[in-house]
């Protein structure tokens, strides 16, 4: 399951970040690392962006970034 599959109010724990290159590096730099708990706050009407809460702060992710985050 990926972060994009979650609905507002649901949460998950990061298992891994798929892919290579800029998206993977950017997501890791924002603090989305394996073992991190992520809560989905809201999703824009067209699905982009996804607002999440992790490590005590809110973060907005694009659809392609959310699809790269694999959850347990």
The CATH number for 26's domain is 2.30.30.90
- How many domains would you assign to the chain? 1
Q: In angstroms, what CA-CA distances link 43 with 22, 25, 40, 65?
A: 23, 23, 8, 14
Q: What is the pTM of this model?
A: 0.85
Tell me: the pLDDT tens digits for 24-62? 888 899 889 999 999 999 999 887 899 999 999 999 999
- Mean pLDDT across the stretch 9-24? 90
Does 14 sit behind a cis peptide bond, omega within 30 degrees of 0 on the bond before it? Answer: no
Q: What are the residues facing 38 on neighbouring strands?
A: 12
Can you give the pLDDT at residue 13? 95
Tell me which residue range forms the domain holding 30.
Answer: 3-71
């Amino acid at each position: 399951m990926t972060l994009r599959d979650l609905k507002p109010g649901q949460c998950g724990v990061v298992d891994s970040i798929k892919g290579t290159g800029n998206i993977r590096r950017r997501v890791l730099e924002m603090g989305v690392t394996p073992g991190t708990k992520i809560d989905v706050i809201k999703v824009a009407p067209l699905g982009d962006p996804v607002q999440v809460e992790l490590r005590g702060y809110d973060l907005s992710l694009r659809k392609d970034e959310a699809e790269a985050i694999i959850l347990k």
